[in-house]
Structure 1
């Protein structure tokens, strides 16, 4: 059983995030300020309901297999670090929970067909039967199966709903914070915000530290997955 054929390596994910930042910086040369300001104005005009609407959009995106990384970057740009992390964390967790319930009770046959396309799923199912939430945590930190697909496949396993949801929420936080942080810094740069040099340095050091911690955690998770794979 090879758990790692489709593994998304964290370094690759970070590289993609860096490329996205580069793209956002290049957008400064294009007339995109109006679009970005329109979106923020729309959410601001909604008041309390702005973050709620964004959470709803994130839930729908998660259920519909749409990439959440872009929305996460947008959240960091529009809401900042604290609120951005909150709305993405809530949206991604509720979306994952909804997908699990859909797979378990509404569309099991379709999800079983999806599972057949992932040779690693049988090994995942067996490991979850033995270790439960611990395997879910490792997969969330260093996924052998893409995030949106995991949400549905967990519905086919025997893991209980709340342990899976709680574990997913906690294990997804490092990656969520990283992308929100990148979106926040990139937006500040694109908008040409005037910050003291020391503050920019602090933001940059914080980003580097966040990437380093995320990579370190992911490597630990990969090592644990490999160890469990050898045991099966």
Structure 2
């Protein structure tokens, strides 16, 4: 089969999948905490699988994931919810990466290859390899969902991408899902405020890591932000 025709078919399939997702109201559900939580709870033991699959759908189609992360903590509890949120976010990021690399690569390069953000990612990977990936995952200079596709058309290794994504997404996933689950289970207590303070310190510490990392690796942060 002609490579261009294959790409067109794959994109058409993705478009049909998105239409199906839109038709069943999943996008509206993702915007509504109560509806989303009901969807997961009503699924019983399949809720775990559905939760992760929804994360994959959100990543592939660049849908908002904040409701998914927070709802995970509320529905599954602080610890399990945080773990599932991190696992789902990582698998979703890898799925979008694979779509960009093996399914829609030609389309993405043709349509977005000259985009400033895509060019910065490509140049950053060429000059700094995985160090640039670590930095852009820690500092959300570019939207996470767009990064998945941008890195998919670079030469970065899939395994490296998956591991770094998992590690760098961990602080945010745990803090948001864990805190949401803690409130749902125990309400606003003294213990919660202590944990919230610890979470704030963790996030602050995580925000300082990129500056130190960039300085040690000789990466100019100002160039990325422009």
Question: Is this a same-fold pair by TM over 0.5?
Answer: yes
Q: Name the structure 2 match of 1:161.
A: 158
Q: Which has the higher contact order (CA 8 A, sep 6+)?
A: 1
Q: How many Å separate the matches in 2 of 1:225 and 1:149?
A: 24
Correspondence list, 1:202-217, <5 A: 202-217=194-209
Q: Which runs of 5+ in 1 are unaligned?
A: 1-34, 189-193
1:104 paired to 2:92? no
Identify which of 78, 82, 106 aligns with 1:81.
78
Q: How many Å separate the matches in 1 of 2:215 and 2:209?
A: 10
1:58 paired to 2:50? no
Root-mean-square deviation (CA, aligned residues, Å) is 3.1
State the Cα distance separating 1:131 from its structure 2 match.
Answer: 2.8
Does structure 1 conserve the Cα–Cα contact (< 8 Å) formed by 2:41 and 2:47?
Answer: yes
57-66 vs 67-76, greater mean Cα deviation: 67-76
Correspondence list, 1:188-207, <5 A: 197-207=189-199
Q: How many Å separate the matches in 1 of 2:161 and 2:182?
A: 32
Q: How many Å separate the matches in 2 of 1:41 and 1:122?
A: 42
Provide Cα deviations, 1:101-137, integer angstroms capped at 9, x if missing partner. 1111111122124534631332321221233222111
Count how many residue pairs are aligned between Structure 1 and Structure 2.
193
1:58 aligned counterpart, secondary structure:
helix
Q: Which runs of 5+ in 2 are unaligned?
A: 1-31
TM-score (norm. length: structure 2): 0.71
Provide Cα deviations, 1:3-55, integer angstroms capped at 9, x if missing partner. xxxxxxxxxxxxxxxxxxxxxxxxxxxxxxxx967754653453432121111
Identify which of 115, 120, 127 aligns with 2:117.
120
